[in-house]
């Protein structure tokens, strides 16, 4: 394939086809990495136990979500904080005490939230990248950074209000009228901003992650293609580039991941006791408290399972997405020929 054709690739794949390609990656990634994330968050939160009947936050590598831990219900999976000595110990204790199914706790709501978030994120990134390249040229190295930041910022902002609604629907069966009354009451009491609670630490973690991930991914992909003498990246080049760039970004942004976990779980603790959230619950203060209590290493709690999770998550997601786009591109070329 000649360079001119390669430069037109994004035009040949429609936004709808990009959405379909990203859906496949979101589903596969959720199935594979959810157990690793359950372990990561359990390690992060074992010093901050949750109240009964409330929710627990974890991420599948694509987005965050909360899982209900109702006492006596079918959704109980977080029975106790546990005393985990490491990643392997956490795996074994969770399986022994709660069953292997608990490693996939909250998978259905994960998919409900992960699929639209991923569709928005990846489609916006590709569309923005194509727009910027058409205006600035193919070789501008900062295009992945700008496109990644804007796409992630938009995806987090759009999805955040849905998190509160979905969490409430998980806690008990609600009619749409009851749900509407709940949201209206929440907005009237705390304002519209209350629907974006937890947005700030999410942005502080996800936006830098996205910038580093896409920049390194594009650089690595181009470098591996040059080393292999290829115009177009293969599945393995996409897979390797995604794994390496994701791992680097995961280490750099882990402190904000730990802070978000602490912030979300503490919010549920205050709500369970029906007291208002204290003003000192800012991201930076929580970070200082973690360092004071557990040392600087506390900001990197759950590093190993996060790395084990992020590497395959990013690799599977991007390679599946690129494979899907290549498939649709070939179909579009065939249609044009006939």
How many Å separate Cα 174 from the centre of its chain? 27
Measured CA to CA in angstroms, residue 184 lies from 105, 177, 192, 276 at distances of: 30, 10, 9, 19
Q: Which CATH number fits domain 15-64+82-330: 3.30.930.10, 1.10.357.10, 3.40.50.300, 1.50.40.10?
A: 1.50.40.10
pLDDT at 245: 95
pLDDT tens-place values along the chain, 338 residues long? 444 444 444 447 899 999 999 998 888 888 887 787 677 667 766 655 544 444 444 444 444 444 444 444 444 344 444 577 777 888 888 888 878 887 877 677 677 778 888 999 999 999 999 999 988 887 788 999 999 999 999 998 888 777 656 555 544 455 667 767 777 877 777 777 777 776 777 787 789 999 999 999 999 999 999 999 998 899 999 999 999 999 999 898 888 777 776 766 665 555 555 555 554 567 777 788 888 888 887 888 778 877 877 888 899 999 999 999 999 988 888 888 77
DSSP conformation letters of 205-223: HHHHHHHHHHHHHHHHHHH
**What's the CA gap between 299 and 303, in Å, rounded?**
9
pLDDT at 46: 62
pLDDT at 173: 53
Phi–psi pair at 116, nearest 5 degrees:
-65, -35
**What's the CA gap between 180 and 183, in Å, rounded?**
5
User: pLDDT (tens digit, 9 = 90+) per residue, 147-194?
Assistant: 999 999 999 888 877 765 655 554 445 566 776 777 787 777 777 777
């Amino acid at each position: 394939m000649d360079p001119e054709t390669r430069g037109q690739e994004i035009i040949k794949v429609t936004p709808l086809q990009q959405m379909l390609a990203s859906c496949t990656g979101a589903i596969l990634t959720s199935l594979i990495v959810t157990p690793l994330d359950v372990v990561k968050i359990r390690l992060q939160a074992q010093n901050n136990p949750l109240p009964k009947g409330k929710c627990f936050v974890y991420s599948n590598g694509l987005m965050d979500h909360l899982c209900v831990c109702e006492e006596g219900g079918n959704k109980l999976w977080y029975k106790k904080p546990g005393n985990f000595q490491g990643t392997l110990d956490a795996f074994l204790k969770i399986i022994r005490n709660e069953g292997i199914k608990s490693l996939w706790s909250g998978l259905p709501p994960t998919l409900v939230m992960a699929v639209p978030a991923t569709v928005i994120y990846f489609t916006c990134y590709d569309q923005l990248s194509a727009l910027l390249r058409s205006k600035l040229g193919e070789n501008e190295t900062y295009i992945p950074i700008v496109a990644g930041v804007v796409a992630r910022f938009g995806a987090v902002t759009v999805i955040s209000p849905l998190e509160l609604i979905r969490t409430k629907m998980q806690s008990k069966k609600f009619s749409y009228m009851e749900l509407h009354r709940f949201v209206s009451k929440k907005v009237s009491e705390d304002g519209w901003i209350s629907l974006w609670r937890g947005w700030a630490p999410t942005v502080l973690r996800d936006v830098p992650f996205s910038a580093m991930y896409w920049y390194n991914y594009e650089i690595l992909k181009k470098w591996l293609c040059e080393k292999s003498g290829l115009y177009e990246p293969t599945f393995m080049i996409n897979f390797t580039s995604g794994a390496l760039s994701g791992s680097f970004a995961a280490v750099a942004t882990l402190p904000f991941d730990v802070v978000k976990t602490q912030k979300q779980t503490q919010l549920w603790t205050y709500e369970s006791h029906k007291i208002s959230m204290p003003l000192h619950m800012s991201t930076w203060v929580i970070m200082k408290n973690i360092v004071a209590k557990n040392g600087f290493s506390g900001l990197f709690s759950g590093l190993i399972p996060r790395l084990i999770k992020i590497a395959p998550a990013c690799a599977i997601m991007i390679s599946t997405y690129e494979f899907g786009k290549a498939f649709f591109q070939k179909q579009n070329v065939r249609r044009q020929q006939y």
